[in-house]
Amino acid sequence: MVWDHSVSHTFEDSVCLSESCFNQVCGSYDSTASTCYEGMMKSYIGESYVLETGNAQLVYLDAEVLAKGNAATSMQKEKFLMSKQSFIRFSAQFLFSANMDLCSQSNKTESFIKSCSNINSAWASLIVEECVRLGFTYFCIAPGSRSSPLALSATGHPLTTCISCYDERSLGFHAVGYGRGCRKPAIVITSSGTAVSNLFPSVVEASQDFIPVVLLTADRPPELHDAGANQAINQVNHFGNYVRYFFNLPPPGDQMYARMILTTVDSAAYNAMQAPQGPVHINCAFREPLDHSNQGWSFDCLRGLDRWFRNNEPYTRYLGMKMVSAFGNYSCSVIEVLDIIKKANKGLLLIGAVHKEDDMWAVALLARHLSWPVAADILSGLRMRKVLNSFPELDKNILFIDYIDQILLSDSVKSWINPDVIVQIGSRITSKRMEMFLESCFPSSYILIDTHPCRHDPSHVVTHRIQTSVSEFAASLCQCNLERKTSRWQDILMVLNSVVSQEIIFHVHSESSLTEPYVAHVIGEALYGDAVMFVGNSMVIRDLNMFGKGWLEHTTHGGNMMMHNIPDFIGATVAGNRGASGIDGLLSTAIGFAVGSNKRVCCVVGDISFLHDTNGLSLLNQRDRRKPMTVIVINNHGGAIFSFLPVAKTTSPQILQKYFYTSHDISISKLCAAHRVKHFLVQTKTELHDTLLKTRAEHLDCVVEVENHIDENANFHRTISMFVGNTATNYLNYLLGGQTRSDLDGMYNCKIRAMEYMLYRIQLSAPRTSGASDSSFSHEGFILKLRMDDNIVGFGEVAPIEIHEEDMVDVEEQLRFLFHRVKDCELNVVPLLRGSLSNWIWTSIGIPPSSVFPSVKCGLEMAILNLLASQQKCSLSEILTGSNPLLGDQSLVEYNQNRSTLIQICALLDSYGTPMEVALAVAKLAEEGFTTVKLKVGRRETPAEDAAVIEKIREVVGYKINIRADANRKWTYEQAIEFGSRVKRFCLQYIEEPVSSVDDLIKYCENSGLPVALDESIDNLKGDPIDKLQQFVHPGIVAVVIKPSVVGGFERAAHIAKWAHMHDKMAVISSAYESSVGLATYIQFAYYVDRQHDLVARIKRNDSCGSVAHGLGTYQWLREDVSGQKLKIHAPSLGDGMGASVEDAHGYLQHLSINNEKIERTYSEEKIKSYSVQVNGDDFSYLVNLQEAGDCTNDKVVLFLHGFLGTSEDWTPMMKALSPSARVIAVDLPGHGKSQIPQHDAENFSQMSVTVQSIADLLLNLICCITDGEVVVVGYSMGARIALHMALSQNQKISGAILISGSPGLRHEVSRRRHSAIDKSRAQFLLSSGLECFIETWYSGKMWASLRGHPQFDSLVRTRRKHSNITDLSKVLADSSVGRQKSLWEDLKHLKKPLLIVTGEKDVKFREISEQMCSEIRKHGEREAVCHNRQELCEMMVVPESGHAVHVENPLPLVRAIRKFLLKLHKT
């Protein structure tokens, strides 16, 4: 336990309490069970009462915090025990102080009670004291005279916290919120009369949703009832059966024993806290005096309270029989349930409202154990999850179906899902669509688990009802061994969830205006740290349930994490008043929830709900005991939910506005100003994000008003619903493969068995219009060929040209790397599901998709799509379009069936020559059948000359052909305006990229009057393009020209095309001078894009703009081709224009035969040579295992050095990528892999020193053995420290070094001693505990947080377990410790050899070290007046999307950097 001296009590007291907590947890949970670390703390532990303001958590102790705490101490970590052993730490929200304070107060209670001035005060003090002893210290007090004794006693008690409000309704809901936040009751004190009645709505909510609340209502004495007395109403059983307990206390008197008061309070508390929890009501009649007026009373009524006065416990303690273990024997009924779960083939885990963080953990563990699809309600705490690693979506252990509500929009999906067993945790389900589905699906078994006994089964489908806690049920089930079943049913559900998720993400981000679904989708941004959410009713909670983002970014403060022991996320608590689901009291409840949970709360409510509870703003001003709140009000000026109900279709707008929407123009900002609450008005997406960031930074309560409109909101919801339903249906039909395909498992369970590429060179008929090419007009590229079993092949093409950022060398380097990783990969992708192919690149190949060059990614996707089409014996267009694009819309099905499978092609013309020559060339193209031509402009002296060409074309050809102009950003704004003014009357279809600066584009649209198209502007959009495309929604931009090989593949191109269609723009697919292999694929892709445009037009009820001529006219440039076959492109007899048919394109690829005469060379796979060399040193010798690739005669030699626990095989993919550029060699360092240190006797072995310096000396000897030339050393981590030693050795064999996550050592002796002790302790741990346990401990460190999230992590760990000699390994760990290494910081000043220092973007520690290294080298250069040379000697590279293990996490940028480093060395 790490002690914090900021708390008031002693360390010893905390140790005792920790032991008490731990003993109780151990008594409740089986220590051998895998779920023992999820144990739950209770608020009452042993004899102590703990003030619990948050849930206590069992977490893993970061033992290194102790070791690193103070560099000046000699603190050492002798053993670092990890694995399954857990240590307790209390969270920052768990306080120990209450029991200490109570001890000091206990002796004062008797004297205080006896000092009360009258019997009313004494009774009231006894009631308050007993509530405090029960742990109920939060009092909500409404002003009133009759309740004065209670109010005075509550406010006078030293351990109470009191809050007041003039509105009893708000106060009651505030108490409900408090109880919801901490699962303990608040005490509500009111006067008599209608003050009590005002509590009724909150009592109903508390009763329906099992929230404990204690109501102390003051009343008139019996003699004043039925006598016309003021404020005297019948308060007996006032709340009927909505309270769990009622007692009518008589007026205080000293003739009755005070014990009766205490037992009444205790009984009420027990009933409030016992399942089913809920409100309890004690009616307290008082006679006057109601203040502290003296009126004598007898202490005889206190008889029997001696024991009570001496301690600080409640008078009556209700004790339960606690089972010794949660894993006891099962009853026959539970065994029946377990048997049902074991036999389930299509089991669905449905999670309703879950209130406690411990229960969320228990449910997550249960979900992992069951391995069933999980449908989590928004109130479950698991619908929105805060991630703990980089890529939680890829964790296959828990199958979250976040968008089940939206998936069920498809009738096809609804009838297909049909689970056979449903297990529901928690009662409340928000989605009405889900409830209707449950009514119709009739599973054979429906098991409902909740703590209360009430029948929460509105669909009447529950077959087994278990009353128990979530934790107990999860613990019981996790003890059972369940067969982990994987099924196609689950796989399809996961795909459908991804499909719907991507569809929702696309629509909420592509819509430029601020919509309510967008707010629901991004509102999780407000849940930073431990923040939680309170959500209102009506549309707000439904939108959050439908559109809320499943995974939220979560910033942690590091710390160690054990592998595979806990889920990769934490639940994001979301609460709401769903007991009666009213819109009253929501703001007050949220404020109470903030107090009870002691967390920062983001409250999201609608405008009508907010206006219904504006008195809650008075509570917002009282912040004695809570963190600041952000209240987000969705203001659509009325009740938007009615716009979705059937009444909206049959009722006049006037009636709807007045009696249903209750439209208003109330100023929320002025209401906030009246209550002195800060207010923000938000009307755009940017304003929303900026405001959320601002509220995070400011520790103030604030109201954020998000303005919207009912009609626009309803239309947007309708649009999303139609697209989602259609998409889900379309993909389900594709995945099921229609009625004829039965072998579902064979569809994707296929592997890529072989991959090769061929370098081709063909002749063009003219220079490319994109830039200068050589005099022979040659064009080159790579044809990719993927092969599956049964000789199924798929072709792709990669052919970068001038417009690409990469060149042919870059491309081939990446292809060689990919080929090593792709072989034997399982191809489990869904075509054009956005992210599916990128996910495959990440999960299967282990490379961030963003690091793959756009042309390479395009070529790889092309090959995969063609491979899938070949496997499924259909065309690529069928793979892309699916079988049924519109749910139940037969007219569109017939419409699509009647559409031609021909796509139109736009001719391309490089408009050199006189205006007449160009016009005649266009006339010839028109005669050939082209309906559209694109002219290159901006290449003449002035825009006027280009305008003259356009004018001449219209003069010669007329208007029977569409003209597109492409300026390729060659004009200034003024030149483009001049061109526009001259050609405005000639009806250009559009001018493509007219201005050099993208900032002038919108201004040009507005001032020129010409329609504009995007091309280069979309080529360089990094990351998700949709948000960046919002700047181009202007209606003057009418088209988007999309080159798949430039934008980064077909997925990304389809995504951009869909955005264009949604904004009523043309999507033009364009080639970049690819051969017919690429063109044939583009033709089928363009057909898919056209069909998607038809779909969008139908759903948006727009007229289609007709056929689009795609930019595939580069086929005219192909004098030669990679195949002897001819790709058919022709003008059909019906006169639809020059085009190509899908059937012809498919046939071309299906029968493709490569012309070997056009192939320069072919690459399939390179073998790595392995050999050993004996190397002798001063201290020891070792047999080095080496791996080598590349030409052995190449004078460029690279030596790779791995890190601790690594081997030479870590570098294999990079070696294959670099082998054309250099001779590449990797070694197994001493103690690693197959290298061996010759055995000596124990005494000599212990004296042997395997330091960084000695290893560096050995490797220098090795270099002399294997090459006569110079070597570039590339080292990672420990290997980088060795490489730096070698580079600083002044040895002429070293020409340079590349240091990856390396360090020159530690500057200070104290730090070196400490680190040496740590590594020595680790080495001892390795010997004593074995390699398996050591590896788990090693990779649990904070430094490996990023690597743990990498999909190749498990595979990497398996290779680490292959080390056979842990004695040598432990020796190397201790001897080569950075603590034993000589500090090289001073030596850096004398650096003579070039260094490239590489670090990962996420590796903060080594980024700082790298920056300091560069600074040291450059500063010395400045002093020596050789600044320029020193600058060249040292360069630093930060690799994105990577942590410490750069070469594993993001290797492609590193490969390119190594090659360029070599080139630079050899140039100099």
Is the omega angle on the peptide bond into residue 373 within 30 degrees of 0, that is, cis?
A: no
Residue 1302: partners with Cβ closer than 8 Å, 6 or more residues away: 1275, 1276, 1277, 1279, 1280, 1281, 1283, 1284, 1397, 1406
Strand extents, DSSP E, 153-275: 161-164, 186-190, 213-219, 245-249
Is 1043 marked active-site?
yes
CA distances from 34 to 99, 183, 342, 382, 1354 (A): 33, 27, 19, 21, 20
Name which of 53, 151, 157, 162 is nearest 102 in CA terms: 157
Residues 951, 953, 959, 963: what is their CA dihedral angle, to the nearest 10 degrees?
-90
Per-residue DSSP letters for 757-770? EEEEEEEBSS--TT
Q: How many CA within 13 A on the CB side of residue 265?
A: 24
| Cβ neighbour number for residue 788 with a 10 Å cutoff | 18
Q: Which helix (H) or strand (E) holds 407?
A: helix 404-407
Report whether 783 contacts 795 (CB < 8 A). Answer: yes
**What's the rounded Cα separation, in Å, for the pair 6 and 203?**
40
CA distances from 430 to 241, 525, 674 (A): 25, 22, 35
DSSP secondary structure of 1277-1317: THHHHHHHHHHTTT-TTEEEEEEES-----SSHHHHHHHHH
Chain CA centroid to CA 818, Å: 27
Type of residue found at 237? N
**CB hemisphere CA count around 695 (13 angstroms):** 32
Both tokens of 724, joined, read 């989602």
Percent helix / strand / coil, the chain, rounded to 5: 45, 15, 40
Stated as kind and residue range, the H or E segment containing 260 is helix 259-273
Inter-residue contact 1354 to 1453 (CB < 8 Å) = no
Residue with tokens 């209401």: 671
DSSP string, 83-136: TT--EE---TTB--HHHHHHHHHHTTHHHHHHT-SSHHHHHHHHHHHHHHHTT-
Tokens of 1104: 């289609």
Catalytic residue among 386, 549, 934, 1065: 934
Run of H or E residues at 466: strand 464-467
Angstrom distances, CA of residue 42 to CA of 96, 732, 886, 994, 1083: 13, 47, 54, 69, 66
H/E stretch holding 692 reads: helix 685-697
Six-digit token string for 962:
């569409």
Q: Is 1216 a catalytic residue?
A: no
Q: Which of 1043, 1158, 1196, 1320 is catalytic?
A: 1043
Q: How far apart are CA 502 and CA 835, in angstroms?
A: 8
Q: Which residue shows structure tokens 């054309």?
A: 1220
Which pair of tokens denotes residue 1147?
A: 């046939």
CA distance 703 to 683: 14
SS (H, E, C) 1311-1354: HHHHHHHHHHHHHHHHHHHCHHHHHHHHCCCHHHHHHHCCCCHH
Token pair listed for 1154? 């490569």
User: Locate tokens 């004190």: which residue?
Assistant: 189
User: Nearest 5 degrees, angle CA 382-CA 432-CA 174?
Assistant: 60
Distance CA(754)–CA(819), nearest Å, equals: 9
Active site positions, annotated = 934, 1043
